[in-house]
C-alpha cells in the first residue's frame, strides 16, 4: 500500500479536518489526489455548494521508499481519513474508486490571471453571514403550502448566485470557503505549497484568479474553484 509521508503532524491534522468537513456534506464523498515531488493536492466537491475545493498538503518525501514519481487517483474520502495517522504524520492511499463525473473535470494547472475587485476577508465573512440570515428569514416567512423543495431551491439559487463585490465570483463560493475552514480568522502556523502559499498575512493571502471560464478563490488554507456557468457546462479541461 502506498504511504504518504506528510511534512509534519500539523499537515495530518489539517488534512483530516478537510476530509471531515467534506464528509459532513456527503458521507460517501470521493476525493481526487494528485501529487508530484513533495506536494499533494486534494480535490473534493461538497454537493451543497457546486464548487471544487482544493487543499494542498506538504509531503516530507514523495512516497514510501520513493518508488513512485507521481500520483493521480480518486479514492474514498472516508477511507483516506481513517488512514491518517496524525502523530506519525502519515496517510495510506486507499484503493481507487470509480470517481464521480466531477473528478474527471479539473481546472487548468496554469494560465491563472489575477482578478481585481475582491473585498477583504472581513467583508467576505459579513457577506456570507448576511446571505445565510436572508435565506433563513425568507424561508421562515413561507406558509406551509409554499415551503416546498422547489421554492427553497429557488430562494437559495437567487441568493447564492449573486456576485461578490465587483467580481464575477458567486457568493456560494465564499460560503463554501467559510464552511470548509478556508476563511479562518487567524493566519496559518506553517506555509502551504505551490499556488496555495500565503503571503505575510491572511488578507494578503486572499486573492481571486481566473483562467478561461474558471474562477479560483485562493486563501491561506486552500482554494475554491468554480465556473459561474456551473460545473456541468462545457469549456473545462479533461484529465
Supply the DSSP string of 2-35, one letter for each residue.
-EEEESSHHHHHHHHHHHHHHHHH-TT-EEEEEE
Name the average pLDDT for the chain: 86
Q: Tell whether the model's pLDDT for residue 6 goes beyond 60.
A: yes
Last residue of a domain, one of 72, 106, 140: 106
Q: What is the model's pTM?
A: 0.83
Instruction: Give the percent of the chain with pLDDT over 70.
Output: 84
Q: Which of 106, 126, 149 is the last residue of a domain?
A: 106
Least confident of 40-44, 60-64, 200-204, 220-224: 200-204
| Residue 236 included in any domain | no
User: Could you say which of 106, 121, 137 is where a domain stops?
Assistant: 106
Question: Does residue 238 sit within a domain?
Answer: no
Amino acid at each position: 500500500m502506498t504511504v504518504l509521508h506528510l511534512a509534519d503532524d500539523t499537515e495530518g491534522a489539517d488534512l483530516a479536518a478537510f476530509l471531515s468537513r467534506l464528509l459532513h456534506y456527503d458521507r460517501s464523498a470521493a476525493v481526487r489526489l494528485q501529487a508530484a515531488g513533495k506536494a499533494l493536492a486534494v480535490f473534493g466537491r461538497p454537493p451543497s455548494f457546486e464548487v471544487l475545493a482544493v487543499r494542498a498538503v506538504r509531503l516530507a518525501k514523495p512516497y514510501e521508499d520513493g518508488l513512485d514519481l507521481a500520483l493521480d487517483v480518486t479514492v474514498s474520502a472516508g477511507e483516506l481519513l481513517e488512514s491518517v495517522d496524525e502523530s506519525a504524520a502519515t496517510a495510506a492511499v486507499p484503493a481507487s474508486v470509480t470517481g464521480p463525473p466531477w473528478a474527471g473535470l479539473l481546472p487548468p494547472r496554469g494560465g491563472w490571471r489575477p482578478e481585481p475587485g475582491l473585498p477583504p476577508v472581513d467583508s467576505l465573512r459579513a457577506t456570507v453571514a448576511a446571505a445565510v440570515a436572508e435565506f433563513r428569514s425568507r424561508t421562515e416567512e413561507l406558509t406551509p403550502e409554499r415551503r416546498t423543495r422547489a421554492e427553497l431551491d429557488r430562494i437559495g439559487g437567487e441568493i447564492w448566485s449573486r456576485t461578490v463585490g465587483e467580481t464575477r465570483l458567486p457568493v456560494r463560493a465564499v460560503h463554501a470557503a467559510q464552511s470548509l475552514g478556508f476563511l479562518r480568522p487567524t493566519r496559518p502556523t506553517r506555509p502551504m505549497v505551490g499556488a496555495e502559499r500565503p503571503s505575510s498575512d491572511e488578507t494578503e493571502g486572499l486573492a481571486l484568479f481566473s483562467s478561461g471560464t474558471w474562477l479560483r478563490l485562493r486563501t491561506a488554507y486552500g482554494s475554491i474553484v468554480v465556473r459561474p456557468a456551473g460545473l456541468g457546462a462545457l469549456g473545462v479541461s479533461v484529465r
